[in-house]
Structure 1
Amino acid sequence: MRPPRFWAAGADHPAARCLAPLGAAYGALTARRMDRTGARAACPILCLGNFTLGGAGKTPAALAVAALVAELGRAPAFLSRGYGGRLAGPVRVDPDRHGAAEVGDEPLLLARRAPTIVSRDRPAGAALCRSLGADAIVMDDGLQNPSLAKDLAWAVVDGGAGIGNGLPFPAGPLRAPLERQWPHVAGLILVGDGAPGEAVARMAERRGLAVHRARLDADSSELVGRRCLAFAGIGRPEKFFATLRGTGAALVGMRSFPDHHPYRAAELAALAADAERLGADLVTTEKDAVRLPADFAARVRVLRVRLVPDDPDALRRQVRHALGGAP
């Protein structure tokens, strides 16, 4: 879905006020669900989630956390619901056999780094992770899912978006009232700069929670000076466009699509025609690339990013403590 503009326009926007009673009901139900006691897994569960709907950088954060887990001598596996995929699981993701329509786009990226399980039943998925030899599980999303107890959970917050107007869906982007979500996290991973994100960080710091500021570092040397037509179907396409500009690419066109968008043949043909008309290379995100047909993907440049914490040692200490080591 595309986030409606009024989500960023303040709680007094007429649409937000009109939808506030529905949002209050939805948020209360989600909050009560979050408060349920989850099952304990056979190994530590580290969860990267969102306070809000939409993307904030969870998948790069999950990859960075899994790398730290491996550095600390553990064998990580990823656990995902597989949003947008039709397989209920539990199933191990095989990028050579599965597509985004089956397991979702994010699990295909995660599976390149470590064993990845898609399962709508999270405890069953955790059991499969353990049977594959994992001794730590990194959950990509699932903060609001109570079925598994988390040993450590972070909210990943986009610096430029924060929590929008601070109201629960559909009046705003929150999945539950923020006050009801704070008890379920041990800290924030704040991705990128911006006053909205810093406001959330200050709230976390007043509660004594860890705040890990980070940025997305792009692998972009091949794009410097090139004319690019960028397209993306992610939570905040404008964030991708800004990152691409920062690489030194000459951005001559931008096309935005809803998050997890399944690209149709006519849309791809239009992108190809626009790129030819503009004399530009097509460029997209890794998450979008796995949703493209192979023949079209071969014509598209992919901007790869990784999460770089400002203080990696602080994040490493928190991970080590969750895994049972000394802080």
Structure 2
Amino acid sequence: MITTFFSIALNLISCSPRADSVQPEDTIEVYTISGTRITAGIDSNSTLKSVAPFPIGAAINPRLLSSIPLYKETLQREYNSVSSENCFKMNQIQPKAGGFYWKDTDALVNFAKESNMRVHGHTLIYYKSLPEWVTSFQGDSLAWENLMKTHIQTVVGRYKGVVTSWDVVNEAFEDDGTLRRSVWYEKLGADYIARCFQYAHQADPRALLFYNENVVGKPKKLTAVLALVNNLKKRGIAIHGIGVQMHININTSEEALTTDVRQFVNTGLLVHISELDIRMNPTYSTNFTLTNALQTRHALKYKNVAKLYRSVVPKSQQFGITNWNVGDADSWLRKTSPCEDYPLLFSDNYSRKPAYYGFIQGLTN
């Protein structure tokens, strides 16, 4: 791979481990890869939402909206869809039995409304992020069924007609394709997933309902998810789309990504790249050094993901692509790993990185 850098700003990036990259006003002729300019045809006024032929989203933390002005400004400038990163999860929205906490979810929804953005709710039922009152709940199967139904219908009902779509169930399968032995499975049996979709549909018949899963590089899990959604369709249970999480890295096989996405397209459902981030440090090295070459590979991977989605998913099935938060400092990867990483499109101070320009070219060319 031959890489040539044009921007002085980019040459400075490798001088500090957590440096900020190209500012919006800087030159956008950033670099070439094998003779092709990553930013060819992009003018300085382009934004993600202005060039994308489908919604471009970010999973967000509503508390950052009020505390970091650049976070809010970047979202409003670049995105036309938002997902809830954590605030709709059960431990945050119902921390006590029957005690719903709406402050953060209301803030997210109100921000989206003011900013003319679509809202995607993540997630109603999940094996993790459960409050203590659920994990210690004592009751028979009917009591558990009522707990699950009441939670789903209270949350969906509050935002009926406002939240466009929901990840109804998240990560119900193990990597080997078996159903995860979550508390929901243990208490309610394998068909709890179908009933979750039924309860959500009853609460808001117009909402688009998704199953969300991390299947990249997990063929047995992929097969199980396909079997699940096709079974729900066959039974006439409302399911409208599949969320493909896509927490990947710069070494992830694009052939494998293409194969996975094609199989989801074959279901006829909407396809949402729902949680996109790309690790630059896939080996979790504690001696990681940010280099121009790594940023080039990162930008090319973002470009190819966007291009794959545009070329493989028919327009009628394109629900959109959602980045899993905005700036590198906000990423869950920074919070859960001790190693350095720069997985997103924007730097710590929300300036545009080479990955941004790679992604924006993938959205347009």
TM over 0.5, yes or no? no
TM bucket normalised to smaller: 0.3 to 0.5
- State TM-score, norm by structure 2: 0.31
Q: Greater share of helix residues, 1 or 2? A: 2
* Larger CA Rg, structure 1 vs 2: 2
- State TM-score, norm by structure 1: 0.34
